[in-house]
Structure 1
Amino acid sequence: MHRPRRRLLLALAAVATVAAGLAVHFLAPAGPVSDAVGDVLYAALIALLVAFVAPCARWRVTAAVALGWCVGVELLQLTPLPSQWAASFPPLRLVFGTGFSLWDLLWYAVGVALVVICRMRRGSRRARLGE
């Protein structure tokens, strides 16, 4: 697929992911299910953004960078910084969170894996069609 078209599709997928994440955050009842869905969507968004920035990168690299970002952000929550940032500018809570959870690491891996699986399936379908 041509890079401009790929980037357009990645941007549209990222916008849809942000919309879904905001819907979960603001409309779904708080609890472990909405937390897990939010984590999956966050990680998927990061993977989409990495792919947008580096559209020619191999998906293994994209996945590693996205998962590395997510793990880094989660480990940052072991410090008081994300809470301080969120207190100063509340929307940063959606980006950096405020409290560490080991479960979040699992859900991040699921979110990145879903994006990679979708990309791999699309690539194998294109290969079968001779594109």
Structure 2
Amino acid sequence: MPRSRIAIFAAVTIILGLATRPLSKYAGDAFYTVLLYWVVLFVAPRARPAVAALIALAASWAIEFAQLLDLPRVLAPVLGSTFNPPDLFWYAVGAAGVLAFDLTLRSRSGRKSPAAP
């Protein structure tokens, strides 16, 4: 997938994440992982979609678990400040959703996913 398209998807993800935040905290959590997925693909465009989804999920979980540590307050706006176990589920929902979306796009474009045999 071209980086320009990945950048567009990342921008749309940011808009959707911010737009849904007042309606549902957990939708924003899911979109956070979706954004990380697009960042992984932007940095490594040849990464397999499933690998990109796992990296995004692992990063989301790592950030959530980091909230259990005594981190400097300056990091709180980026990393959050309160560990919330349901967030872990919603990060997985985001990873699964963006993976399904990306695989669908790839199959419709006629190109096989790098994850396909």
Q: TM-score range by the shorter chain?
A: 0.7 to 0.9
Q: Which amino acid aligns with 2:16?
A: A
Find the counterpart in structure 2 of residue 77 from structure 1: 67
Identity score, percent: 40
Residue 19 (1) aligns with residue 2 (2): no
Query: Over alpha carbons, which structure has the higher Rg?
Result: 1
Residue 124 (1) aligns with residue 95 (2): no
Q: Which secondary structure does the structure 2 equivalent of 1:81 belong to? A: coil
Which deviations, in whole Å up to 9, do the C-alpha atoms of 1:42-100 show, x marking residues without a partner?
Answer: 11101111111111010111011111100100000001216x125xxxxx52x311111
TM-score in terms of structure 1 length: 0.76
Find the counterpart in structure 2 of residue 61 from structure 1: 51
- Structure 1: 5+ residue runs without aligned partners? 87-91
* Higher helix content, 1 or 2: 1
Residue 111 (1) aligns with residue 100 (2): no
Residue 7 (1) aligns with residue 3 (2): yes
Q: How does 1:89-104 map to 2 (within 5 A)?
A: 93=77, 95-104=78-87
What is the alpha-carbon root mean square deviation over aligned residues?
A: 1.8
Find the counterpart in structure 2 of residue 50 from structure 1: 40
